């Protein structure tokens, strides 16, 4: 939940293919478990709220910059509240429509998934999200106007999963033909008549994330992949369609596969 909210603060989108952004990982490293009594059903975590600003400003709030951690926890609060309200008003489709049309959507499929996983399926128990801000931060930053306490009864789990299904990315996300730059990770082809061809796993950087798509290569293109691999992972230019789904990543309709 923290990773998805942090990713949405850095790069708002309806779906994060990977939750490995530097800012999100740094947030996790600084988050700490607080003392929780043995057998307790309450899990407490805390994160420092580092407030930076100039005390010379006359406005008691505007001189301070809102910390990244504060934005993340406000996003958790905001997203959980919007989902809860949409379920209560039985208007999930409107919530999705608003977020999908928004330039910077704050609710993602990843957040919905994390919210669903908080339910205890074995005991069918509710859960509650409660946020408290430090007194020091409230003296320097404006108090959030959203509610700080939300209860999710188990009876609405199916509705939370319904919200999640609305935000779920298509099983196959076909992108426009593009030019990719990558290296050869593994050569998985087969030999037929002394000619090798078939599957190759590439490593490419796409939208600031690392992907390992499969590429089915002709004998001519496969030989280029072998040469690139032998040269210590030389870069290869690939022109084709990148398709991503929940189980695989593949580049199809190869128009060009050549050493760079």
pLDDT digits 0-9 by tens, 6-63? 999 999 999 998 888 899 999 999 999 887 777 778 888 888 877 666 555 545 555 6
The yes-or-no verdict on residue 123 having pLDDT over 70 is yes
pLDDT digits (tens, 9 = 90+) for 147-198: 778 999 999 999 999 999 999 887 654 445 688 999 999 998 888 878 889 9
- Number of neighbours of residue 242 by Cβ within 10 angstroms: 20
Give the separation between CA 243 and CA 255, rounded to whole angstroms.
15
pLDDT of residue 173: 47
Interval 84-111 mean pLDDT: 93
What are the residue boundaries of the structural domains of the chain, listed by start?
Answer: 2-167, 173-259
The larger pLDDT score, comparing residue 109 to residue 60, is at: 109
**Mean pLDDT for the stretch of residues 75-81:** 93
Q: What is the DSSP letter of 170?
A: P
Within 8 A by CB and 6+ apart from 107, the residues are 8, 14, 79, 82, 83, 95, 99, 167
CATH number for the region 173-259 comes to 2.40.50
Contacts of 57 (CB under 8 A, 6+ apart): 63
Q: Is 66 exposed, middle or buried (0-12, 13-18, 19+ CB in 10 A)?
A: middle
pLDDT(256) > 50: yes
Per-residue pLDDT, averaged over 123-138, amounts to 85
- Give the model's confidence band at 246: pLDDT under 50 very low, under 70 low, under 90 confident, else very high: low
Decide: helix, strand or coil at residue 67: coil
Q: What is the mean pLDDT of residues 235-251?
A: 84
- CA angle 61–6–39, rounded 5-degree value: 100
Q: Which of 87, 143, 81 minimizes the C-alpha distance to 106?
A: 81
Can you state the angle between helices 92-101 and 68-88, rounded to 10 degrees? Answer: 140
Stretch among 50-64, 65-79, 91-105, 128-142 having the lowest mean pLDDT: 50-64
180 neighbors 204 (Cβ within 8 angstroms): yes
209: nearest Cα among 25, 24, 21, 6: 21
Phi and psi (nearest 5°) for 71? -65, -40
């Amino acid at each position: 939940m923290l990773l998805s909210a942090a990713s949405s603060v850095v790069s708002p989108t309806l779906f994060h293919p990977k939750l490995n952004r530097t800012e999100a990982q740094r947030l996790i490293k600084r988050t700490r478990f607080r003392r929780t009594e043995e057998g307790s059903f309450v899990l407490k975590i805390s994160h420092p709220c580092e407030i930076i600003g100039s005390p010379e400003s006359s406005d008691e709030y505007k001189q301070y910059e809102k910390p990244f951690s504060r934005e993340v926890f406000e996003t958790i609060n905001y997203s959980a509240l919007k989902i809860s309200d949409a379920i209560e008003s039985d208007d999930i489709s409107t919530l999705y429509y608003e977020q999908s049309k928004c330039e910077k959507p704050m609710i993602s499929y990843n957040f919905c998934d994390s919210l669903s996983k908080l339910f205890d399926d074995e005991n069918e128990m509710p859960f509650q999200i409660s946020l408290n801000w430090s007194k020091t931060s409230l003296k320097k930053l404006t108090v959030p106007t959203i509610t700080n306490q939300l209860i999710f009864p188990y009876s609405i789990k199916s509705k939370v999963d319904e919200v999640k299904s609305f935000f779920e990315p298509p099983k196959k996300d076909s992108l426009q033909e593009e030019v990719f730059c990558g290296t050869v990770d593994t050569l998985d082809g087969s030999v037929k008549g002394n000619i090798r061809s078939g599957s190759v796993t590439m490593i490419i950087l796409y939208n600031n994330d690392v992907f390992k798509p499969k590429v089915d290569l002709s004998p001519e293109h496969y030989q280029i992949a072998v040469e690139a691999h032998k040269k210590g992972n030389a870069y290869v230019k690939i022109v084709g369609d990148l398709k991503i789904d929940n189980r695989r990543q593949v580049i199809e309709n190869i128009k060009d596969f050549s050493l760079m």
